[in-house]
Amino acid sequence: MDFNTAYKLNAAIPLRRSFKSFIQEPLDEALIEELIDFISALFPPAQDEIDWNFDTLPYVDMMKLCSRDPGVKAPHYLILRAEHKNFSLQMSAYIGEMAVLFLTSKGIATRWLGNLAIDEDFPDTLPFIAAIAFGRSEEDFRDGSFLDRLPAGKTCVGQYAKYRDIMDAARFAPTFMNKQPLTFIADDRNTIHIFRKKVLMKNPVISYAQCLDAGAAMAHIEVAALASGNEKTRIYRLSKPPMFKNMIYQCSITIE
């Protein structure tokens, strides 16, 4: 991603929010094509090769895939798919949140759909991971002055002060039901490690959502780092990550 693109996406971070309603008018086809080109050009982080793809669907086609109403009626939906491998959830959410920031920068409203139930997907497709509703809305974007987030001292550990803007971008990433389960640990090697809380009773729904939360945070950190001029920012997974009680390692991000 070049600096200009990262700068625009970074400016969208404090404006992004989850919209409740959408104007039921389709967006210009040129904007949909621009979104498709943007997503197709992404190089999502993955330790192993993970096959992924996506679709943009109108409401009528979306209803054909769902076993029940998607909960939010929008003119368009972004469908994210990936093969079942370790880190595929985080990678898919990284792609989805990059798309969210791109759309936000264009003045387009978005909403991650947490309870979507796909009854039967198109034949010969990869497994469904998540979906995002998008379109124009009469609701306002955030003005950047208020975000309902825990203070940095509650979610950031270690030498994070020198990455203040980048860490704020990470904290502003969306999380399932705004639970904010992530911890960001900055070490003395210009690296930020992302952990998520262990889920009580190993609830698979919550675990799934938290993996998506980590992927969205990855996107915010990368965008903020690149917009700050750190051209060699790299996301990867350590084979022997640091261990912390009651937390599960997600990934590491080196900022240079």
End-to-end CA distance of the chain: 15
What band does 161 get if pLDDT is binned at 50, 70 and 90? Answer: confident
Spatial distance between the Cα atoms of 139 and 136, rounded to a whole number of angstroms: 9
CATH number at residue 72: 3.40.109.10
Name the pairing type of β-strands 182-186 and 156-158.
parallel
Q: Are residues 156 and 54 in the same domain?
A: no
Q: Are residues 102 and 157 in the same domain?
A: no
Choose the weakest-confidence range: 51-60, 161-170, 221-230: 161-170
Q: Which domain holds residue 58?
A: 3-135
Q: What's the predicted TM-score (pTM) here?
A: 0.94
Enclosing H/E stretch for 254: strand 247-254
> What is the per-residue pLDDT for 47?
63
CA-angle at 168, arms to 164 and 169, nearest 5° = 120
The 10s digit of each residue's pLDDT in 79-127 is 999 999 989 999 999 999 999 999 999 999 999 997 777 777 787 789 9
Is 225 exposed, middle or buried, given 0-12, 13-18 or 19+ CB atoms closer than 10 A? buried
Q: Are residues 131 and 156 in the same domain?
A: no
Q: What is the mean pLDDT of residues 189-218?
A: 91
Q: Are residues 201 and 230 in the same domain?
A: yes
Per the DSSP assignment, residues forming a β-bridge with 118 are: 66
Enclosing H/E stretch for 10: helix 3-12
Q: Are residues 109 and 165 in the same domain?
A: no
Choose the weakest-confidence range: 52-61, 113-122, 125-134: 113-122
Spatial distance between the Cα atoms of 105 and 43, rounded to a whole number of angstroms: 20
Residue 42 falls inside a structural domain: yes
Q: Are residues 129 and 32 in the same domain?
A: yes
Q: Are residues 122 and 11 in the same domain?
A: yes
Q: Are residues 130 and 167 in the same domain?
A: no
Spatial distance between the Cα atoms of 87 and 171, rounded to a whole number of angstroms: 21
Q: Are residues 122 and 207 in the same domain?
A: no
Q: Are residues 116 and 174 in the same domain?
A: no
> What is the per-residue pLDDT for 243?
83
Which candidate, 160, 155, 194, places its Cα nearest to that of 171? 155
Strand boundaries in 22-73, DSSP class E:
52-58
